[in-house]
Amino acid sequence: MSSEQRDSTVEEEGGDSKALALKMLVAGGFGVGKTTLVGAVSEIRPLRTEELLSEAGQSVDDTGGVDQKTTTTVAMDFGRITIRSGLSLYLFGTPGQDRFWFLWDELSQGALGAVVLADTRRLEDCFPAVDYFEHRRIPFVVAVNCFAGARTYAEDDVSRALDLDRGTPVVLCDARDRASGREVLIRMVEYAGRMHAARLLDSVGQGADPA
């Protein structure tokens, strides 16, 4: 197991020594549905750090396209979901506004992977999250939150629009629906597992003595 994977794995307290708890991030732009997704899938009461939007923040918070939003995450969201027996995910939702991005480095420590939520009405808002995870080589999937009334795009169209690296998964979802969110997380675990395994094999191959 790589050091990345060891940092991402926690032994469940008081449980089976073989039980794993993996850290995952849920990221994306302002108002894209991160808090909603964490709350929908969490089997425990989610921890939320939301504050009311105020007039003081109007000059720095772009609420275009999410005019009905009245609160914002100022630190993180936290939830927990059991994917299968012996495998749980600890979910950390990141704040979406630029002024809180300094928290991302702390939240990403030890994360196995991430879900980048996207809204096709404001697709450009998820570019910073995509760049962040690509530059740090943290595996991620893009989950397109299908809002009512928004135009539906195919996964390939979204991938091209975001100029994603080849193989980066794009999935459609409804952040309000537990089953839909769970499927996104399963795709993330599977993809992150393949990526970390490939990197481990590559490092072993590079370290081998030439014949």
**Which three-class secondary structure string do you get for the chain?**
CCHHHHHCEEECCCCCCCCEEEEEEEEECCCCCHHHHHHHHCCCCCEEEEEECCHHHCCCCCCCCCCCCCEEEEEEEEEEEEEECCEEEEEEECCCCHHHHHHHHHHHCCCCEEEEEECHHHHHHHHHHHHHHHHCCCCEEEEEECCCCCCCCCHHHHHHHHCCCCCCCEEEECCCCHHHHHHHHHHHHHHHHHHHHHHHHHHHHHHCCCC
Q: How many residues does the chain have?
A: 211
Under a CB-based contact definition with an 8 Å cutoff, are residues 194 and 187 in contact?
no
Q: What does the pLDDT read at residue 110?
A: 94
Angle at 26 between CA 85 and CA 130, to 5 degrees: 130
pLDDT mean values, one per 10 residues, the chain (211 residues): 49 61 93 92 83 47 51 71 94 78 86 95 92 96 90 92 95 96 97 93 73 52
Using left for φ > 0, alpha for ψ between -120 and 50, and beta otherwise, residue 137 falls in left
Q: What does the pLDDT read at residue 140?
A: 98
Task: Answer yes or no: pTM beyond 0.85.
Answer: no
Q: How far apart are the first and last CA of the chain?
A: 25
Angle at 194 between CA 17 and CA 4, to 5 degrees: 55
Angle at 136 between CA 133 and CA 138, to 5 degrees: 55
Cα separation of 171 and 20, whole Å?
25
Angle at 40 between CA 186 and CA 164, to 5 degrees: 45
- Residue-wise pLDDT for 45-56, tens only, equals 988 765 554 444
Q: Which of 117, 119, 92, 83 is nearest to 193 (CA)?
A: 83
Q: Which amino acid is at 66?
A: V
Tokens of 131: 């760049």
- Between β-strands 113-118 and 47-52, what pairing exists: parallel, antiparallel or unpaired? unpaired
Q: What does the pLDDT read at residue 205?
A: 74
